[in-house]
Amino acid sequence: TMKYATKPFGTTAATLATLSLLCAAAHAGPNEDIVVGQCAALTGPASALGRGMQAGLKAALEEANAKGGVKGRKIKLLSADDEYEPEKCVDCTASMIENSHVSILAGYVGTPTAKVAVPIVQESKTPLIGIFSGAMLLREPVQRYVLNVRASYDDETEELVKYLGDKLGNRKIAVLYQNDSFGLAGLGGTEKALGRRGLKLAAKGSFERNTIAVKSGLSDILSGNPEAVVMVGPYKPVAEFVRQARTAGLKIALAAISFVGTENLIHELGAASDGIVISQVVPSPTSDLPVAKAYRQALSVSSPAEQPAYTSFEGYITGRLLVAGLEKADSLDDREKLVDAIESLTEFDLGGMTLSYSGTKHQGSTAVFMTRVSGGVARSLNSSK
């Protein structure tokens, strides 16, 4: 089999020849299942995020299958573990395209992993729908085969700074971030939001991916004497940071972006999660919106043991977009037609959340929903575009 180099992703004649064979191989016969591949963290300290996206995607696809599938064809989800490690994501993506002959990828989790998958996706012309990441590098410039659902980290950090700074009056804001492309995306977004207000970052501290080694990051942040901290990381290291910060007597405002995995953070911290502000990119999974009701119904059928959660709700919305694209596509065996179909969904109303796409816009939503944890539940602060 062919190995994809993580970087640089060279375009050799041999590569292109192999990829054209892959594309040909991935076309299913007219009565076969449409196979959707997912590479995500299914084990390790970020595994709840991968499993959440998987559960939501599965719920949406099984909901469609129960209604007869798309044009008589069933959709099958094939998920594999990349442990939230870029090298493993490269291998997983290559294997999905080469060995499993998937024609669509969806529900990837994380910036560092998606970043290395994108060149493969672009070169093999395999649509990748709904990455659990808000990084700008997945959004600008628009890449034909990368179709984002959620608001960006720039959108989220703007709303967090608006709340922590403009509303609560904190002028000294620090950032805790994961030391990779994901953390830097959140850090950069916060700095841009502060810059628009004539403010500078008070301090910053970092930790390494797939670790909870936040001690030196905390001391770097404490040195800046901040009034608020924006935390850019998944639930395990963020929970550890909150515990250590509270032990150190830090009584300031703490906020996290959606990638944290809200319910997992609350589970890790218990009562210590009270007061944490979290920006979300989908409405509350327990709300009365038609899309939330449909999600809960589909989830209860597909994964009866799963509790409704923000991450799986995002997976479900991703699955609904994928199904809508397939239903609108002129051909189920031509990926170009699927991309064209999604680009034609200029106002796709799911019932309380609308996604809009075009040839020059591959991010369906810019909506950010602000929540604050109280009594073990993330409660709405306000919602804004």
pTM for the whole thing?
A: 0.91
How confident is the model over 218-229, as a mean pLDDT?
98
Burial, 222: exposed, middle or buried (Cβ in 10 Å; 0-12, 13-18, 19+)? middle
How confident is the model over 205-233, as a mean pLDDT?
98
At residue 179, the pLDDT reads 98
At residue 19, the pLDDT reads 53
* Chain-centre distance for alpha carbon 266: 19
For residue 127, the one-letter residue type is: P
Band (pLDDT 50/70/90 cuts) for residue 89 is: very high
Band (pLDDT 50/70/90 cuts) for residue 22 is: low
Q: Which of 52, 14, 37, 46 is nearest to 313 (CA)?
A: 52
Distances (CA, A) of 238 to 80, 243, 378, 384, 385: 25, 9, 16, 25, 26
| Tokens, residue 314 | 């995002």
Distances (CA, A) of 261 to 28, 237, 316: 35, 12, 15
Q: What is the tens place of the pLDDT at every residue in 162-188?
A: 999 999 999 999 999 999 999 999 999
At residue 141, the pLDDT reads 96
Q: What is the tens place of the pLDDT at every residue in 234-285?
A: 999 999 999 999 999 999 999 999 999 999 999 999 999 999 999 999 999 9
Strand partners, 36: 77, 104
Evaluated on CA atoms 341, 347, 353, 357, the torsion sign reads positive
Cis peptide before 30 (omega within 30 of 0): no
Distances (CA, A) of 307 to 12, 50, 238, 297, 326: 47, 15, 22, 11, 28
Strand partners, 104: 36
Average pLDDT over the chain reads 93
